[in-house]
Amino acid sequence: MKEINIGMVGYKFMGKAHSHAYKDLPLFFPDHIRPIMKVIAGRNHEAVSQAANQYQWESYTTNWQDLIDNDDIDLIDINAPSDVHKDIAIEAAKAGKHIYCEKPLALTLADSREMLEAAEQAGIKHMVGYNYRFAPAVMLAKKLIDEGRLGKIYHFRAWFLQDWIIDPNFPLVWRLQKDVAGSGALGDLGAHLIDLAHYLVGDISEVIGMSDTFIKERPLPTDMAGLTATAQSGMETGPVTVDDATLFLAKFTNGTLGSFEATRFATGHRSTNSFEINGSKGSVIFDFERMNELQVYFVDDSKDVQGYRRVYVTDEPHAFSSHWWPTGHPIGYEHTFIHAFVEFMKAIRENRLPNPNFYDGVKSQQVLEAVEKSISQKSWVQVSTL
Ligand code: SOE
């Protein structure tokens, strides 16, 4: 297969990131299957037609079912809000189309399991949008851990801190509505941390959490895109039905202890997605806002120079570096999506499941649901019991 025809549902923040990735992939990874941007779908005719023109999709539709019915489409990319992930994925699987679905996979664990079952039954390739795995510095952290260079892992601590809704007058966008988003900071940000924990350290056995919704009512929106919105002129408000912040502790099956913080009220943090991992032989710190760097510490460094040092992850043998720029030139957020789609194209060519796939999506959903259960029960909850 030299080319693959893409149909995409969604055209806002993730639609923009994914369009860019499909467009750029062939320029920098010419030996891979080339994604052809056939049809983009969105409910708002004016907005989706403008997106099709700007992002250079061949055509557009206001009905995602058209992508399912279009035999010319090989792969469906789902990045519309979470409440429609399940319906689109199950229809796409039945139609034998490969699926890339943004995170979190679904509104509930049960829904995510249905999506996995439909995808596996159809024998299609499925991938879930945990893009931070594809930051080269995160991949270096994984290499150090997998090669035993950090030793036994004692701690995984991760924090995803934003502040885009700190203003009480920020409108009630879909990410703040449980029936559309499933949860708030937990599923939107915590899901990334959970997936990174699975990718880097291993499975989580039990959790205990706490959460709060600091602003309980917000003005209704007229327009929203990604993390921006405008409020209606009147004073009509609606209830926020998700968490503004969730913190939880975790025990991993391998004995590692974990602490997680996901909040949209960390004033001053625009999108700080970070983790620190402490092992018997050393530690690493990743900070997405400095995503081309990995801080490393090794106990074997000689005493007179011991301390964290910064590795600039832009050169051979660092992942993907040969495809980008000469030594020392950084890449960005958008490149994590290109790397994810390279993995998808490779998996299709090699006839294997890409990573992360819907199994990882369900694993992440199991932890999300366990955290929510622990919050309502105010007790530790076993992840495997769900
Ligand atoms: C909003 O919090 C958001 O866009 C998330 O939905 C994305 O998954 C994350 O990568 C950036 O922030």
Q: What is the pLDDT of residues 154-180, one digit of tens each?
A: 999 999 999 999 999 999 999 999 999
Task: Give 366's pLDDT tier (boundaries 50, 70, 90).
Answer: very high
Distance of CA 341 to the CA centre of its chain: 13
CB-based burial, 97-124: b 16+ in 10 Å, e otherwise: bbbbbbbbbbbbbebbbbbbebbeebeb
Domain membership of residue 386 (yes or no) is no
Q: Residues 6 or more apart from 326 whose CB is under 8 A from it?
A: none
Residue nearest to atom 5 of ligand 1 (CA): 188
Distance of CA 197 to the CA centre of its chain: 13
Domain membership of residue 384 (yes or no) is no
Residue where one domain finishes, among candidates 99, 131, 163? 131
Q: Is there a single domain that holds both residue 176 and residue 127?
A: no
Q: Is there a single domain that holds both residue 184 and residue 330?
A: yes
Instruction: Express each pLDDT in 79-136 by its tens digit.
Output: 999 999 999 999 999 999 999 999 999 999 999 999 999 999 999 999 999 999 999 9
Pick the atom of ligand 1 nearest to 162's CA.
2
Q: Is there a single domain that holds both residue 169 and residue 47?
A: no
Q: How remote is the CA of residue 132 from the centroid of ligand 1, in Å?
A: 11
Task: Give 226's pLDDT tier (boundaries 50, 70, 90).
Answer: low
* CATH code, domain carrying 338: 3.30.360.10
Mutate to test the pocket of ligand 1, among 105, 271, 288, 336 (most ligand atoms within 8 A of CB): 271
Output the six-digit token pair for 30: 């010419």
Q: Is there a single domain that holds both residue 302 and residue 244?
A: yes
Task: Give 223's pLDDT tier (boundaries 50, 70, 90).
Answer: confident
Q: Is there a single domain that holds both residue 183 and residue 107?
A: no
Residue nearest to atom 9 of ligand 1 (CA): 189
pLDDT at 287 over 70: yes
Q: Residues 6 or more apart from 64 whose CB is under 8 A from it?
A: 9, 41, 80, 84, 88
Residue where one domain finishes, among candidates 97, 131, 165? 131
pLDDT at 386 over 70: no
pLDDT at 267 over 80: yes
Q: Is there a single domain that holds both residue 121 and residue 187?
A: no
Task: Taking residues 201-220, report their average pLDDT.
Answer: 97
Domain membership of residue 231 (yes or no) is yes
Q: Is there a single domain that holds both residue 70 and residue 154?
A: no
Average pLDDT, rounded, for the chain: 96
The residue range of the domain holding 161 is 132-354+364-377
Q: Is the CB of 13 under 6 A from ligand 1?
A: yes
Instruction: Express each pLDDT in 24-70 by its tens digit.
Output: 999 999 999 999 999 999 999 999 999 999 999 999 999 999 999 99
Domain membership of residue 303 (yes or no) is yes
Mutate to test the pocket of ligand 1, among 16, 105, 189, 368 (most ligand atoms within 8 A of CB): 189
